[in-house]
Amino acid sequence: MQLGSWYLGDRQTQFTVWAPLKQEVSLHLVEPADKLVPMQRNEQGYWQVTTEAEPGTRYVYQYDGDQEFPDPASYLQPEGVHKASEVVDQGAFNWTDQAWQGIPLEGMVIYELHVGTFTAEGTFEAIIDRLPDLKELGVNTIEIMPVAQFPGDRNWGYDGVFPYAVQNSYGGVNGLKTLVNACHEAGVAVILDVVYNHLGPEGNYLWFMGTYFTDKYKTPWGSAINYDDAYSAGVREYIVQNALYWFEHVHIDALRLDAVHAIYDFGARHIMREISEATAQLSGTIGRKFYLIAETDLNDPRLIRPISVGGYGIDAQWCDDFHHIIHVLLTGEQHGYYEDYGAFNQLVKAYEKSYITTWDYSPHRQRYHGDDPSDCPPKQFVVCIQNHDQVGNRMLGDRFSTLISFDAKKLAAAALLLSPFVPMLFMGEEYGEPNPFLYFVSHSDPALVEGVRQGRKQEFAAFHADGEAPDPQAEDTFQRSKLQWHKRHEGHHKTLWQFYQALLKLRQTSPALAHAALDRQSYEVTGIEEQKLLRLRRWQGSHQMLAFMNFNQQPVEMTMALPLGTWKKALDSADARWQGQGSTLPDVMPTTRDATVSQQSFSIAPHSVVVYLSEL
């Protein structure tokens, strides 16, 4: 069944709400006419009525003749989280993407963005004007931070309280559909970040129902969503239908599932598996593959293993280990969870295994952590060197652009984009955006605002951060987090943008790099711990790529045998065109069966990368 208000045409709308513990539920039509309509209950606790109501009608539900609240499955909250819901005609939008078949997961180059700070306007439609810039860069997929209706008009999105309603200040559901349609016309896929592990505190009227949460488990945000306790069936349906709604009616290509490690479900069929099965069924029905990408810090490959071997069938996951080791090697920071990282051989392991902790002892957690994911192909791991969490959860929201040198930024970009994994950029990374990305909210409850402020201070204490964090409630905190697009045309920012573009073009045009690796037998990586020099080779058929990455702050002399072939330099970050220190590496290095360049020594500049291509 369709939850919420579903316009049937001919001025008729079907209203459905799950409230099994309520004795009486009525539909209260608020505008344009004030009318109370009794609803009928079925055996599963769903209340339903079909009545005259056109798109634009405002309504709430009345429970037990007393309290009135917006629709838990509202598709639009035109006046925010505390006011009435609005009927939307889901079939009225004029889609023009019928020929769109999506982009395979292994071919994605993902660009994570926050709608409110990506443009000056902070709307869905304003993003459309930036699609040519992203395409020129080499991006083919955008990932949008959560847009479920949250309180106020500025928020990261993880305080959403209406999972089906699209944020009104961004442009609502029609604004999102307009963006998705434009993306598909431009050849760009869309990933939407959704939150199924908690709901925000303000405007969260689901607590009133007595069924959506359980005290059996505790999360960082309070009581857990009820996935396995009494009355969990309707909760599960609410979440599964939400995932399908984004695919079927908003044409989203993939969902990023936030913090699934905070989803507690000890039933025989985990909710992640149920979402996976429902998504696969819809993909078969529509004839286009929809993807699920989970965020988790468990390093547990069961999440992404096929259901047939006991996994949950999720297509891919964010892999934080890759980010963490790059960050520590280039910044030297080892506070908080970074204390588990720092050895250069961990970078080698990140390329080889994806996870760094594979049932290894974690000093930060003070226990063993993770498992070996070697049976999972690299295309199942989304990696980055920056994302909203790793930047925004720093006290000052400082990006790599303010933490490391220009040479190190180029090196980090190459480590990401030459990897065998699915790469993800965070908005502004490609030109070294100097503005921070800070944490911001616009709650209306003063006590809640103060609680957020104190909570942030406690988080930063673990990282030994000094000073005061910017006030998350202040509008200036939000405004300071907006991108400065003009910077990509200036000085080092322009050069960095062009360097990213060159790397992405290389990834697109070189067969050895054209997509995330489908197996772990099409690349090899070695490292020299003392010199902090990494050697990465990838191949596809007769095409080969060889990259040397120097994470040392000093030049490194290298003497290495090359595989058979004529190796031509494709990219060298130390070259003058990339505002480097100058390179002495040869443009061509031929090798034969009888003689290799192993007898010669070369010097690779500090914090630099050089890429060679060859064909046998």
* Contact (Cβ atoms closer than 8 angstroms) between residue 452 and residue 151: no
Residue whose C-alpha is closest to residue 340's, from 373, 322, 365, 323 = 365
CA–CA gap between residue 598 and residue 308 (Å, rounded): 47
CA–CA gap between residue 391 and residue 426 (Å, rounded): 9
300 assigned to a ligand binding site: no
The helix (H) or strand (E) run that includes residue 133 is helix 131-137
261 assigned to a ligand binding site: yes
Q: Which residues have a catalytic role annotated?
A: 258, 295
What SS3 class is residue 209?
Answer: helix
242 assigned to a ligand binding site: no
155 assigned to a ligand binding site: no
322 assigned to a ligand binding site: yes
118 assigned to a ligand binding site: no
Place of tokens 């505790």: 218
Q: Give the CA distances from residue 38 to residues 25, 26, 84, 155, 191, in Å, rounded to whole numbers and listed in that order.
A: 7, 4, 18, 36, 39
CB pairs under 8 A, 24+ apart, for 592-599?
A: 592/564, 593/564, 596/561, 596/562, 597/560, 597/561, 597/562, 598/559, 598/560, 598/561, 598/562, 599/559
Q: Report residue 446: phi and psi, to 5°.
A: -55, -40
189-194/162-166 β-pairing: unpaired
Q: Angle of helix 232-250 relative to helix 271-286, nearest 10 degrees?
A: 30
Residue whose C-alpha is closest to residue 501's, from 120, 137, 132 = 137
CA–CA gap between residue 226 and residue 265 (Å, rounded): 8
* Contact (Cβ atoms closer than 8 angstroms) between residue 275 and residue 236: no
Torsion of CA 28, 30, 35, 39, to 10 degrees: -20
320 assigned to a ligand binding site: yes
CA–CA gap between residue 427 and residue 112 (Å, rounded): 6
What SS3 class is residue 236?
Answer: helix
The pair of three-digit structure tokens given for residue 405, joined into one six-digit string: 């040198």
371 assigned to a ligand binding site: no
* Contact (Cβ atoms closer than 8 angstroms) between residue 406 and residue 497: no
Residue whose C-alpha is closest to residue 326's, from 414, 432, 430, 426 = 414
CA–CA gap between residue 204 and residue 512 (Å, rounded): 49
Residue 41's DSSP bridge partners are 47
258 assigned to a ligand binding site: yes
256 assigned to a ligand binding site: yes
607 assigned to a ligand binding site: no
CA–CA gap between residue 193 and residue 146 (Å, rounded): 5
Annotated binding site: 256-261, 320-324, 388-393
Annotated binding site for substrate: 256-261, 320-324, 388-393
